Amino acid sequence: MLVTQPASANSFGPRFADNSAHSFFFDDDLSSGQRGGMDWARKNSLAPTDMTTSLDSRYNNKVDVWAYSTWNPTGDQREWYAWTTCVKMVSGSSSKCDQFTIVFNNKVPHSNYKSLSCHEIGHSVGLGHASGENRNYTSANRSCMRGGPDHNYYAKHDKNHINGRY
């Protein structure tokens, strides 16, 4: 008899996208792996939800997510693979973010940029970290929001959070 853990509820983070249309701009400094992972996650992890995505060929102040890389992270970020930051809140809101950056740390290479991009994009739509290890869950409950570069998709639970919000 196989017993599986119930889906662990990851928190819906304190910041989330201002609407269901999520536009992306990929800076020229992204490696081919980083760029490919972001585009794959945008199309295959986020797109099967109620969110719609688009890719802008140039940066403008209407882009929802600007992805770029750095060789000069500071503080704790020196140890991180990537991070997502709200850089422009919706006026008058303490939770809706108009623009995010996703920054890849070139000094800490990652083995699976699809999974890492899925994870960071998840933060841009409000998903928090999920607990546990994917190997302890059924396929529908595995998530890129858990630690470890072993899953490229959101869990059913994550998708329900996204679809419920947007």
34-53: pLDDT as tens digits: 999 999 999 999 988 999 99
pLDDT tens-place string over residues 14-34: 789 999 999 999 999 999 999
At residue 108, the pLDDT reads 92
* Residue 126 CB burial class (10 angstroms; 0-12, 13-18, ≥19): buried
Q: Are the C-beta atoms of residues 10 and 132 closer than 8 Å to each other?
A: no
pLDDT at 148: 78
Contacts of 155 (CB under 8 A, 6+ apart): 7, 130, 137, 140, 141, 142, 143, 145
pTM: 0.90
**SS3 of 153, please?**
coil
Q: Percentage of residues in the chain with pLDDT exceeding 70?
A: 93
Span 134-155, average pLDDT: 90
> At residue 1, does pLDDT exceed 80?
no
> Given pLDDT bands bounded at 50, 70 and 90, which one contains residue 10?
low
Domain at 16-129, CATH from 3.40.50.2000, 2.170.130.30, 1.10.10.10, 3.40.390.10: 3.40.390.10
Strands 21-26 and 65-70: parallel
DSSP 3-state of 97: strand
d(CA 90, CA 133): 35
Per-residue pLDDT, averaged over 127-140, amounts to: 90
Q: Which residue has the higher pLDDT, 69 or 10?
A: 69
Give the pLDDT score at 139: 87
Length of the chain: 166
Calculate the average pLDDT of the chain.
Answer: 90
One-letter amino acid of 66: W
Is residue 66 scored above 70 in pLDDT?
A: yes
pLDDT of residue 5 exceeding 50, the answer is no
pLDDT tens figures, 73-129:
999 999 999 999 999 999 999 999 999 999 999 999 899 999 999 999 999 999 999
